[in-house]
Structure 1
């Protein structure tokens, strides 16, 4: 699976405007199969659960709040390439 860090790199979306790319990605996300959606949601949970664990640890060590904020800021950098990669095969390429 190839990872796409930008929607401009996805085949079929190179020459589209941002609004068109987002619309096509949204439609492609709706076309994903149930197992793909499930895997994607589990991956999102794997990224988010440590944030809540770190927030619960604030009572013991206040710096865990900083780590939770860092993980939350990195969330889009981890999740978006996976989402783009899963949706890329559902985007119709124009000839």
Structure 2
């Protein structure tokens, strides 16, 4: 599986405006299989749960709030490329008839 770090990197979405790319990616996300959706949701939980754990520790250690912020910033760097890569196979490639 090839990882895409931006929607612009997905071959079927090249040259499209951002709103169109987001719309097509949303449609592709709706076609994900149950195991793929489950995998994405579990990965999201693995990133989000530590944020809340760090927030709970702020009563005894205020620096845990900084760690929660760092983990929160990592979320899009980890989850989005995986989501784009899984959804890419459900985005229809433009056919040569449409380009002619």
Q: Normalising TM by the smaller chain, what interval?
A: over 0.9
Aligned length: 95
Which position in structure 2 is the counterpart of 1:8? 8
Which position in structure 2 is the counterpart of 1:78? 78
Deviations 1:36-77 (A, max 9, x none): 001100000000011011111111210000000111122111
Q: Scaled by the length of structure 1, what TM-score is found? A: 0.96
Structure 2: state its 5+ residue gaps. 96-100
Higher CA-based Rg: 2
Structure 1: state its 5+ residue gaps. none
- Residue 15 (structure 1) shift: 1.4
| Separation in structure 2 between the aligned mates of residue 32 and residue 85 of structure 1, nearest angstrom | 12
Q: Scaled by the length of structure 2, what TM-score is found? A: 0.91
Over aligned residues, Cα RMSD in angstroms?
Answer: 0.7
After the TM superposition, which segments of 4 or more aligned residues of structure 1 sit over 2 Å from their partners?
Answer: none
